[in-house]
Amino acid sequence: GAVVSQHPSRVICKSGTSVKIECRSLDFQATTMFWYRQFPKQSLMLMATSNEGSKATYEQGVEKDKFLINHASLTLSTLTVTSAHPEDSSFYICSAKLTYTQYFGPGTRLTVL
């Protein structure tokens, strides 16, 4: 139980394009989902908290116009990286909250050329 999927697992795009990453809770409903970013050999940094049916809450320093988050249903949250640039290349990981515990997706590796 408590499985979270992400799609795509890997994406390569050109600078200036937008990329959408999907996060789904497969066997439970999640009112709250989270988006993290992880640089190589570093820890996870929380980018934003996504609540179903309301606007996301972004952490300090995260540009909300660049990283668009939509949580349209209790099983799906999406992160869109708009006008991506090479510095946006990273490993993006989502999680979904079930009672007090977060369950993580497998991550999406974004490379911007």
Partner 1 sequence: GIQVEQSPPDLILQEGANSTLRCNFSDSVNNLQWFHQNPWGQLINLFYIPSGTKQNGRLSATTVATERYSLLYISSSQTTDSGVYFCAVGRGSQGNLIFGKGTKLSVKP
Only one of the segments 14-22, 39-47, 63-71, 79-87 lies at the binding site for partner 1 (rule: CB under 8 A); that segment is 39-47
Query: Which residues lie below 8 Å from residue 69, measured CB to CB, with a gap of 6+?
Result: 35, 48, 50, 56, 77, 78, 79, 80
Q: How many CA atoms lie within 13 A of 4 on its CB side?
A: 26
Q: Does 91 bind partner 1 (CB under 8 A)?
A: yes
Q: Does 5 bind partner 1 (CB under 8 A)?
A: no
Residue 40 is encoded by which pair of tokens? 């190589």
C-alpha 85/C-alpha 91 separation (Å) is 14
Q: Does 32 bind partner 1 (CB under 8 A)?
A: yes
19, 69, 107, 112: residue in contact with partner 1 (rule CB under 8 A): 107
What residue ranges bind partner 1 (CB under 8 A)?
2, 32, 34, 38, 42-46, 49, 57, 91, 93, 95, 97, 100-104, 106-107, 109
